[in-house]
Amino acid sequence: MIAAYRKLFALLLLVGHAWAIPSPGASSPYADLKVKESLRQAPSGWTLVGEPPADHIISLRIGLPQSNFETLKEHLFQISDPDHERYGQHLSKEEVEEFVKPPSHSLDKVNAWLKAHGFAEVDLERSPAKDWVSIKVPVKLAEEMLGTTYNMWKHDESGDTLVRTTSYSLPSSLHAHIDVIQPTTMFSRFNPLSTTFHWPDAASRSATYKAPTRASDARLAAVDPSCSSTITIKCLQQLYNTGGYVPQVPEKNSVGITGYLEQFANLNDLKLFYQDQVPNAVNSSYEFVSVKGGLNNQTTNSAGAEANLDVQFAFGLTFPTPATFWSTAGRPPFLPDLTTPSNTNEPYGDWVDFVLAQEKVPYVISTSYGEPEQTVPEAYARRVCDSFAQLGARGVSLLFSSGDGGVGDGSSSASHRCKTNDGRNATRFLPTFPAGCPYVTAVGGTTEVPEVSVDFSGGGFSDYFPRPAYQDDSVNAFLKTVPSGLYKDLYNPAGRGFPDVAAQGTSFRIFYRGRSASIGGTSASSPAFAGIVTLLNDARLAQGKSPLGFLNPAIYAKGYAGLNDITGGYSNVGCGTKGFNATAGWDPITGLGTPDFLKLKTILADNLD
């Protein structure tokens, strides 16, 4: 059907006619359009540059209501609560889908609306639970269906161009049956969170330094002195006390890394890394999985620093555990003459839809990508977050980097980047998404030996998601230490606090395009912590127990005793402020701390059924 629209449009262009397509008509029940979602203005930093061709293809994703998500959430917290009798009794794929399938009347109404606009079932792509439906549609038809006008917008700093609108509408009769449609009002720029760092002397840092409040753990005396300047697999094993643990039942276990935006993990670089740091793993590999046409370019110059970092350390720590790397096609820049279908979605949505459709999913998955929360429309952020909850209910531990901008833009000087995009243009800290989703484990960064907080570690409080009960006590204890009035109106103290945990985030020795390189960021911290969680799963699976699944309730209730509390270091500057300091207990820069594997093994594997 859509191919026919495009052929018709091309023909009309040749003969000089205007665009003409079938429409439901003025008397149709779909003619009563009311605004569903809108922005007061385009976010700061985006400039309108023109109109897209009328036959430019948009891939619209339509989210239908999930019939019983609240009940699914109850199940998730029960099976993740170490004190509940159902702990570890994860749900099957089919059980999860039953909870999130849309009500039948919602499905009927949306189907009728799509049919009225010329779509047949063959034109629709549905999620397994049918709570999402995707269609490829020419811009002009999308504008008619949504009562809107799409424009081309250019990001001033990067030059990226997107096709977006600042408002869209739906027939009044459909508002209760459609939660969200994207891409419409989403101006987010989906970016990896890694950076190569060249450290200045501590005295020249813009961040403030707070000395730790307790003596260093005596075991750190055994850590190789070189780990103060270069982090290797051996360093992480020493720092996080793996005690020479060797996976006992790797064939029962699994770990995965997500890759986006043409970040390719290079097999030759992985071999060089293994030769350097994990000799037993030389010539081993991982399963490559393409999502939405994601590529696997193995040319030397196509190797991605982010992908190499994630794969080398997560898989190096867990060898010989079976590993998966997903390559999800990115969001390509818009080209004015592009009329063929292109991926205009956020890759998170594409990836999670794909993985939820699989019968088997790795038990631990690390993602080192994120963006300011406010750049993702709240309705869409909530639906993606709810999808992560579905994976948690199935026994998957999802870890996300907390971000590399401190409490905002990583700058101690006032910046336009730390302004709200709601029309007020007010200064505001910038929480990170998806790290602020309450159904994932956010990982902040540390540095040096003994470990202290690092100044770029993303942390703060979500403006979209309220604080979950599992972290109430820990976060409230921290908030009592914050001076009255400090950063008033810059953050939401009732929001979900992040990160939850932390790991080293500087000077990781990777191999990149045939040579060794030093790289850092919380994108190093997440795969490092994921490696430790994978080893904990191995210890549980070897005892006939289930994998850990959604980590946070167990970490806040019991696991904190197996973490190294980071009580000092550099504040996480941003938005013209010094940000927050690490302190005893939870804090919005290192969470509850870094892992001690042997202690965590005792708490979460040996003594927890």
Question: What does pTM read for this prediction?
Answer: 0.92
Q: Are residues 61 and 203 located together in one domain of the fold?
A: no
Task: Indicate if 424 and 486 belong to the same structural domain.
Answer: yes
Flag whether pLDDT at 110 surpasses 70. Answer: yes
Residue 339 in domain: no
Instruction: Give me the pLDDT at residue 414, please.
Output: 61
From CA 449, how far away is CA 382, in angstroms rounded? 38
Domain boundary among 187, 205, 233: 187
Name the band, by pLDDT with cuts 50, 70 and 90, for residue 216: low
Known catalytic membership, residue 306: yes
> CA-to-CA distance for 207 and 455, rounded, in angstroms?
6
179 & 203 share domain: no
Active-site residue identified among 37, 143, 310, 346 = 310
- Residue 194: which pLDDT band, with cuts at 50, 70 and 90? low
Identify the pLDDT of residue 191. 64
Is 585 annotated to bind a ligand? Reply is yes
Of the residues 179, 306, 346, 404, only one is catalytic, namely: 306
For residue 299, count CB atoms less than 10 angstroms from its CB and return exposed for 0-12, middle for 13-18, buried for 19 or more.
exposed
Is there a single domain that holds both residue 117 and residue 264? no
- What are the tokens at 283? 């010539």
Q: Count of domains in the chain?
A: 2
| 202 pLDDT more than 50 | no
> Any binding-site annotation on 276?
no
Catalytic residue, candidates 523, 525, 526, 571: 523
Question: Helix 522-542 vs helix 305-318: angle between axes, to the nearest 10 degrees?
Answer: 30
Residue 190 pLDDT exceeds 80: no
Whether residue 169 sits in one domain with residue 227 = no
Which helix (H) or strand (E) segment is 556 a member of?
helix 552-557
CA-CA distances (angstroms) from residue 512 to 195, 261, 509, 522, 597? 14, 17, 10, 18, 29
Calculate what percentage of the chain has a pLDDT beyond 90: 74
Annotated binding residue 587: yes
Average pLDDT, the chain: 89
440 and 476 housed in the same domain: yes
- CATH code of the domain covering residue 328: 3.40.50.200
510 annotated as belonging to a binding site for a ligand: no
- How large is the angle between the packed helices 69-80 and 93-100, nearest 10 degrees? 140
Average pLDDT over residues 78-86: 98
Same domain as 204, residue 157: no
- Residue 7 confidence (pLDDT) above 50: no
Of 158, 187, 216, which one is at a domain's C-terminal end?
187
Q: What percent of the chain has pLDDT over 70?
A: 88
- Based on the fold, state whether residues 316 and 177 are members of the same structural domain: no
Q: Report pLDDT for 339.
A: 37
Which run of H or E residues covers position 210?
strand 209-210
Q: Are 478 and 587 in contact (CB under 8 A)?
A: yes
Q: How far is CA 176 from CA 67, 110, 378, in A?
A: 12, 10, 17
Which pLDDT belongs to residue 560?
98
Range of the domain at 18: 2-66+101-187
Q: Could you give the CA distance from residue 61 to residue 179 in angstroms, rounded to a whole number? A: 11
Identify which has the larger pLDDT, 484 or 317: 317
Q: How many CB atoms lie within 10 A of CB 231?
A: 27
Of 295-304, 350-359, 538-547, highest mean pLDDT: 538-547
